[in-house]
A and B are shown apart, each in its own frame.
Chain A
Amino acid sequence: MWKSRSTYHALKICSRNYAKVVSWKKRVFLLPTTSCFHCHLQHYSSKPNSEIDLTLFPTERIRNFSIIAHIDHGKSTLADRLLELTGTIGKGSHEAQMLDRLQVERERGITVKAQTATLVYNYQGIDYLLNLIDTPGHVDFSFEVARSLAACQGVILLVDANQGVQAQTVANFFLAFSQNLAIVPVMNKIDLKNANPESVAIQMKNVFEFESEDILRISAKTGLNVDSVLQSIVERIPPPSHCDIAKPFRALLFDSWYDRYRGVIAVIAVIDGVIRSGDSVSAKHTGKSYEIKELGILRPNEVSLSCLQAGQVGYVVCNMRSSTEAKVGDTLFKKGLVEVEEVASFRQSKPMVFAGVYPMDQSETPALRSALEKLTLNDSSVTVAKESSAALGQGWRLGFLGLLHMEVFNQRLEQEYGAEVIVTVPSVPYKIRLHGEKNIKKYGERDIIVNNPAFFPDPNIIEQYFEPMVLGTIITPDIYMGPIMSLALDRRGVQVDSKNVDNSRVMMQFKFPLNEIAVDFYDALKSLSSGYASFDYEEDGFEASDIVKLHIMLNGEVVEELSTVVHASKARKYGKEICLRLQETIPRQMFQVAIQAAVGGKVVARENVAALRKDVTAKCYGGDISRRMKLLKRQAEGKKRMKSIANIELPRDTFIKVLKR
């Protein structure tokens, strides 16, 4: 879907710059021959695409780097500027930032799907090949960030000269730092009136130990000093090491997307050897073999070339049918080689947040299915399992890498599907330790992971529950410390660290159960800090926890669909919340309805819906009963779809209102 959108986008650019619309596959607009484009290129003394000969670039003249930044700190603008300065794209050729291809990305100003571009930069008379490996802007996609970074030797750490160091900056920094990457600190937006470069430099010193004179000060928007960024990339980031053109072909697969005409397009960083069209390659993890149909570099759209060699980054098309075959982090190698060393240790992405999605109307199930299929083709990190709820009907349970991932995916889903989707309250995976030989044998393992509260085993066979934890980083002006501490404690947070970022801002770190930040934590944080606090988190394993199943009962009968699992300390609070929501949405019945929340037979919350005393319109109808008949027929239709529990008729809407996020 987004691929076709980018094609549309490309065509739009084409038609603006050139009179004739050309085949999308060749992307002629990337091979500029017209004068204006040319002038612009010459001005920056860079090479147009048509002249690129990759064999001219030995590893020493290659730099692979990423830009990492907090949302809105200008990452995409800087990327665009780098592309323009090196003549990769025309200056101001379009308004939208080139690398943010997804509509959602453009709307939210964040990058979700990593995009890569190859730039040619002439430094002191010598051409360098710079591979910009674009990373997602949020650590929610830490898995994506990590896999992008695996193909890099260095990063540009971009900090807004006005907003300063933010929670995501910290998380991103440590991610790069832990991978031993060269880090080029860059302060952006120094042209802004409110910019405070000195204070931000102090923050960067305090938090990351950067010396003020090492920090580049630029404005990506105006282009000020951006050339120094390109220079620093060449000077400070080492060329790819451990590369050997003489060895047989070996490469890291670090990204992929799906093209409806050509199948999977995989992005690779070549480590050893050379690869050409027609070569046969194997994938280490999947064990499958492929023939290379097409390869080339990304500028940022595909430019087909004859070969890629050690140290270079590019794309290959090789008849992979689905993105699940293109395992990110997998190693591709020359077919027939034995005992190939993996480039990076392969790790399957593991979903940490789960939510059910259902169509508003069951008749729309096929449409929702097809929308899901389309989207997951491009995002193999989303897990999909069929789910059936007695209340909501047929649907799916999706697993996401994190909260933002979920939000972005759902937004994309609604756009793709063109209608509102019911998304249930997110849940997290629990680890459950069983006792009893027989039970362990039945479940296959002593410790099992359960992604859906509905599938919890009988509490009697559970020895211990474990819940996923995260390390959360909050950076805030210190005046909000008090309320933020209360919020964190309310969410079962345990403070791990606290330090001053500068005179007025603090960085606090808490260990949180993921479940506690899964729903509205970020909104609560933003609202109590007037939007000034920033938050990010990284996964931090499982911890033993006191988890209980919260049953919801209507007139004494358990409603399985509404039951959920919560931490024992939260049972009363959540119980009360659900009871209140139900009280608001359950239509009055002929009798009183008692709504109860109970844990192990003990009622923790209760609300009542009073009995219906009168339900009749004492209206004068005369002979005109057609409208009344219509209304009754509609009610009759609605009744057919109601679910009856303990004689209580519950419209689907009641379930939606309680289960929905």
Chain B
Amino acid sequence: MKIFPTYLSQCDHSLFNIFKSEATVYFHWPFCKNICTFCNFNKYKRSENKLGQHFENKMENSLLRETQTIFGLTGVNKIKSIYFGGGTPSLAPPTTISRLIQCVKQLANTDEKIEITIECNPSSLNMTQKLEEYFKFGVNRVSVGLQSLDDKKLKILGRDHSANDGLMLLKQATEIFGSDSVSVDLLFRKPGDTIKSWENELIQMLEHKPHHVSLYELTPEKGTRLFRELKSGELTIPNENDTASMYLLAVKLLKESSLERYEISNFAKAGSRAQSLHNMSYWHGTQYLGIGPGAHSRIFPLDADLRESRIQTLDPQSWQDLVERDGHATRLCKQQNRLEVLSELLVTSLRTTKGTQPNRWNLFQPQYSMKDVFGAAEPLKFFYLNGYLRWGMNGSFQATDRGLNVVDAILPTVLNVLGEYHTRNKFSP
């Protein structure tokens, strides 16, 4: 790898070094009791409590070992958030969660405000007890996989819980963690959804006054059972037009309950502290260390100025074996050039209401400001003039409310403007 001296000299060294020392951590627990028909994440079916003591111990040890190794590759000394995702992390032994948190705390500084989130599935056993244990170990945020409030639809999706199970979990979590620390996941464009049925689900969900809601559009992915069922015509999902209506309706209804959209899929109570810090870090280009089978990372290796993208080995058994052998199980590691890093920053941050922050941009690209690149770009004129893109007070580059609704139609043009500017002005890599 070549480091261009100009790049270093033009960086604000102290700021960049602080930036490189901060990160978030993601742990992946790849096992589920039951496979949802739409899921294309890295997950494996294992009956609850059937992993076996031995296997669970091995998983825990491997996760701990990989955490240590990956931390050692970087200069990270401050962790801003930890996230347990999956799979179904609430199926992992709570002691494992506890030990992983302890491990991170030993490897880096964490301040009191650190956000530690775990995804909880309503079907996991003894959730009340588990939630209390999590709280005790330092977990301070829970994401509840409600998905739907219609039992029939939950069944079609292969979920193994009822709507009531989900609402119970939501209630318990809120009692233990507080409103600002509980998030609800809901899916739209489910098989059989109509605009009306979706509206009813939203209204019912809002009755429970959540402070954070994630709305995800069911996206048929190749290789999933749902994809095959849709292809064979067994099931149908709403068309694009109705899907658009569902999304826009949700944005409106949530806003009426003062749940503000702060990212395409994420809504938080106005004035609360319910926004997910962990996800915000992703979207705005902070380093993240992904630990566990199939986890993704974006990290700056020790003393390097180019970022790496990493993907860990997918299959849990192979992952364990590799961790045992090498200390980590990175399957794919690529250096990202400046254009790639900037592209990713734009693509994720323009999905948030805050937009792309100039201070982040300047860390990655000190030679040219965002204004230089995008301010007068001819292909973007249409978007500025018609209120799809704008510049925020602090100089951030933002998609407006109407811009967010169609941001996928804007991003390709933004990327092309960036690419052309890059070609013309020869960014260093």
Q: Does A390 contact B (CB under 8 A)?
A: no
Cβ of B382 under 8 Å from chain A: yes
Contacts of B412 in A (CB 8 A): 632, 635-636, 638-639
- B39–chain A nearest beta-carbon distance, Å: 10
Quick check: A622 and B26 within 8 Å, CB to CB? Answer: yes
Contacts of A246 in B (CB 8 A): none
Tell me which residues across on chain A come within 8 A of B214, comparing CB atoms. Answer: 620
Closest B residue, CB atoms, query A634: B412
Cβ of B407 within 8 Å of any chain A Cβ, yes or no, is yes
Q: Please state if A614 and B343 are interface contacts (CB–CB under 8 Å).
A: no
When the two chains form the complex, which single residue of A590, A626, A636 contacts B416, counting CB atoms closer than 8 Å? A636
Interface residues on A, range: 20 to 34
B321 close to chain A: CB less than 8 A? no
Q: Enumerate chain A residues within 8 angstroms of B416, measured Cβ to Cβ.
A: 636, 639-640
| Interface status of A573 (Cβ within 8 A of chain B) | no
Contact with B347, one of A613, A619, A625 (Cβ below 8 angstroms) = A625
A residues less than 8 Å from B215 (CB atoms): 618
Q: Is A623 an interface residue (CB 8 A)?
A: yes
Nearest 5 interchain pairs by C-beta: A614-B244, A636-B412, A623-B296, A635-B412, A618-B217
Contact count band on B: 35 or more
Beta-carbon contact of A636 and B405 below 8 Å:
no
Q: Which residue of B lies closest to A628 (CB)?
A: B347
The chain B residue with its CB closest to the CB of A619 is: B219
1/0 contact trace for A609-620 toward B, CB 8 Å?
Answer: 000111111111
Do residues A619 and B297 form an inter-chain contact, with CB atoms below 8 A?
no
By a CB distance below 8 angstroms, the chain B residues around A591 are 386
Report the minimum CB–CB distance from A654 to chain B (whole Å): 16
Contacts A615-B406, A623-B297, A626-B296 given; does A639 touch B413 at CB 8 Å: yes
A620 near B347 with CB under 8 A, answer no
For the complex, is A435 an interface residue (Cβ under 8 Å from B)?
no
- Is residue A647 contacting chain B, with contact meaning CB distance below 8 A? yes
B409 at the interface (CB under 8 A from A): yes
Residue on A with the closest CB to B215?
Answer: A618
Which residues of the other chain, A, contact B133 by a CB distance below 8 angstroms?
none
A168 to B412, CA, bound (A): 56
Closest to A638 in B: B412
Taking CB atoms, residues of chain A closer than 8 Å to B386 are 590-591
Bound Cα distance from A569 to B417, whole angstroms: 47
Number of A-B contacts (CB under 8 A): 98
Shortest distance from the beta carbon of A485 to any chain B beta carbon, whole Å: 42
Whole-angstrom CA separation of A633 from B408 in the bound complex? 11
Point out the residues of chain A lying under 8 angstroms from B247, CB to CB: 614, 618
Enumerate chain B residues within 8 angstroms of A614, measured Cβ to Cβ.
243-244, 247-248, 405-406
The CA of A590 and the CA of B296, in the complex, are separated in Å by 34
- Chain A residues lying within 8 Å of B382, measured Cβ to Cβ, are 590, 647
Given A622-B85, A623-B26, A623-B295, residue A616 in contact with residue B405 (CB < 8 A): yes
In the complex, the answer to whether B347 meets A612 with C-beta atoms within 8 Å is no
In the assembly, what is the distance between CA of A636 and CA of B282, in Å?
23
B157 to chain A, nearest CB (A): 14
Distance in angstroms from A569 CB to nearest chain B CB is: 37
Please indicate the chain A residues that have their CB under 8 angstroms from the CB of B26 in the complex: 622-623
Which residues in window 536-589 of A have CB below 8 A to B?
Answer: none
Contact A617 B344 (CB under 8 A): no
- Give A633 to B413 CA distance when docked, in angstroms: 10
CB-CB nearest in chain A for B189: A618
| Chain A residue, CB-CB nearest to B295 | A623
Closest CB of chain A to B280's CB: distance in Å?
13
Q: Does B29 contact A (CB under 8 A)?
A: no
- Produce 1/0 per residue, A624-661, CB < 8 A to B: 11101100110110111000000100000000000000
B216 at interface (Cβ–Cβ under 8 A)? yes
Pair A620/B265 contact, Cβ less than 8 Å: yes
Closest B residue to A610 using CB positions: B241
List residues of chain B with CB within 8 A of the CB of A616.
264, 351, 404-408
Contact B347 A617 (CB under 8 A): no
Is B409 in contact with A590, judged by CB distance below 8 angstroms?
A: yes
User: Can you name the residue of chain A whose Cβ is closest to the Cβ of B26?
Assistant: A623
A620 touches B405 (CB 8 A): no
Contact yes or no, B282 A623, CB < 8 A:
yes
Complex: chain A residue closest to B217, CB-CB? A618
- Residues of chain B within 8 A of A623, CB atoms compared: 26, 282, 288, 290, 295-298
Would A629 and B347 be within 8 Å (CB), given that A618-B216, A620-B216 are in contact?
yes
